[in-house]
Amino acid sequence: MTRSVPTTADVAVVGGGIIGLATAERLSARGLAVAVIDPAGIAGGATGASGGLVRAFDLSASRRRSAAAGLDVYLRRGHRGTWPAMSRQGSLSLVARGDLPQAAAAVADLGAAGHEAEILTARELATRFPALDVPDDLVAVHEPNAGWLPVGPLAHAMARDAGPRLRLIAARATHLLTSGSRVTGVHTTAGPVQARGVLLAAGAASTSLAASVGVHLPLRTRAVGYCLFRVAEPAHLTTLPTLVDTTTGAWLRPWGSDSLVLAGVSSQETDVPETVRPGVSVHEEERVRAVLRHRYPHLATAPVTGGVTAYDALAPTGNGEVTVRSELDGLVTATGWNGGGFKRAPAIGELAAARLEEVAAR
């Protein structure tokens, strides 16, 4: 891998986050030269702030398939066994009791695919995970082999796996280059990059780049806060699974050291700046605490010792997609994951790489 600006590549990937890197690694495995364009470098944007939660369960069948495929790759430590090992503390996904039939079908589907998962009632949760407080109107999907990953080291491992076929361009993409009805590359603040295929995987920044060639790609930013709490009684943290409450949008995971817990709650605040900065506001701290104290009472009085204020990209449909754009030959978009792209990234990258190889060969 080199940081020099290439004049040509088989594929230009705009976005050095988890989706762009997963795609670039798979493209390099197919023998293609890839230029990854991002002014913040590898995982320097929203990806770098991610909680790194990994699990297979999702009520949506399509998202579940890609999440399960992603979990398989993460458990194998990537395609070459070089990625950081996953912290397999397990995962709990809380769902409303009214969704129990759908959740049970999902668990059966995962079991048939070789993924261990089970339904736990609130009473069973109280016995097995006494640090949690889950009401009777919720049930949990427990995945003992799920957990979390350190995002930064993982992103750099993906880039290393891509080897010399990957070139990182620490510059901002300004517009797409075209010839007739075909994309021919990306213009950046460091100069032009010629390519037969282009992937837009830069979150909400992809919207203006697509618009530069007349492609409509509506995305909005959404605020994301990551709060780091210090709990007073940390002995249980070694056995505490990651937790996702689908009824409130709340989540948490052990930080992995000391007595710290990383937590957040999905926000409705949109159209925020595409910036990542250290620290969280007092309002965000109290918003997260007010929700999660009812699932994890240790947060009721736990002080916040740090955190990050970031963003993700929201698609109008609520679902991210890998799309070969019919408006312009050679252009593929992979955006709008609404904060759920990390666990699915290996599968998304595989699909995007296959599509890009096809369009670059035309």
CA 93 – CA 279 distance, rounded (Å): 27
Residue type, position 297, single letter: P
Classify burial at 17, counting beta carbons within 10 Å of its beta carbon; exposed 0-12, middle 13-18, buried 19 or more. buried
**Does 321 reside within a domain?**
yes
Q: Residue 106 pLDDT > 70, yes or no?
A: yes
Q: What is the CATH number of the domain that holds 105?
A: 3.30.9.10
Q: What is the pLDDT of residue 52?
A: 97
- With a pLDDT cut of 90, the percent of the chain lying above it is 93
What mean pLDDT value characterizes the chain? Answer: 95
Spell out the residues 6+ positions from residue 284 whose beta carbon is closer than 8 angstroms to its own: 225, 227, 307, 309
Mean pLDDT of 92-96: 99
* Residue ending a domain, choose from 276, 292, 314: 314
Whether 237 and 94 map to the same domain: the answer is yes
Spell out the residues 6+ positions from residue 123 whose beta carbon is closer than 8 angstroms to its own: 136
Whether 162 and 241 map to the same domain: the answer is no
- Local structure of 149: helix, strand or coil: coil
**Does 19 reside within a domain?**
yes
* Residue ending a domain, choose from 298, 314, 330: 314
Whether 92 and 18 map to the same domain: the answer is no
Q: What is the pLDDT of residue 234?
A: 87
Mean pLDDT of 300-309: 96
Mean pLDDT of 89-105: 98
Whether 334 and 251 map to the same domain: the answer is no
pLDDT tens digits for range 15-30: 999 999 999 999 999 9
Q: What is the pLDDT of residue 92?
A: 99
pLDDT tens digits for range 191-228: 999 999 999 999 999 999 999 999 999 999 999 999 99
**Does 77 reside within a domain?**
no
**Does 327 reside within a domain?**
yes
Cα distances (Å, whole numbers) of residue 87 to 77, 146, 201, 350:
11, 8, 27, 23
| Total structural domains within the chain | 2
> Nearest to residue 194, comparing CAs of 361, 24, 9?
9
81: left (phi over 0), alpha (psi -120 to 50) or beta: left
Q: Are 331 and 215 in contact (CB under 8 A)?
A: yes
Which of the four pLDDT bands, split at 50, 70 and 90, describes residue 348? very high
| Structural domain for 328, as ranges | 8-47+152-218+317-361
pLDDT tens digits for range 149-189: 999 999 999 999 999 999 999 999 999 999 999 999 999 99
The token duo for 53 is: 């939660």
Whether 260 and 165 map to the same domain: the answer is no
Whether 129 and 228 map to the same domain: the answer is yes
Q: Residue 40 pLDDT > 60, yes or no?
A: yes
CA 81 – CA 334 distance, rounded (Å): 25
**Does 70 reside within a domain?**
no
Q: Residue 2 pLDDT > 50, yes or no?
A: no
CA 320 – CA 66 distance, rounded (Å): 12
CA 29 – CA 14 distance, rounded (Å): 19
Q: What is the pLDDT of residue 4?
A: 47
* Higher pLDDT, residue 361 or 3: 361
Taking every pair of Cα atoms in the chain, the longest distance, rounded to a whole number of angstroms, is 65
Residue type, position 123, single letter: R
pLDDT tens digits for range 43-60: 999 999 999 999 999 999
Which of the four pLDDT bands, split at 50, 70 and 90, describes residue 6? low
Q: What is the pLDDT of residue 252?
A: 98
Cα distances (Å, whole numbers) of residue 266 to 57, 64, 144, 250, 311:
18, 20, 24, 6, 11
**Does 182 reside within a domain?**
yes
The token duo for 316 is: 């109008």
**Does 2 reside within a domain?**
no
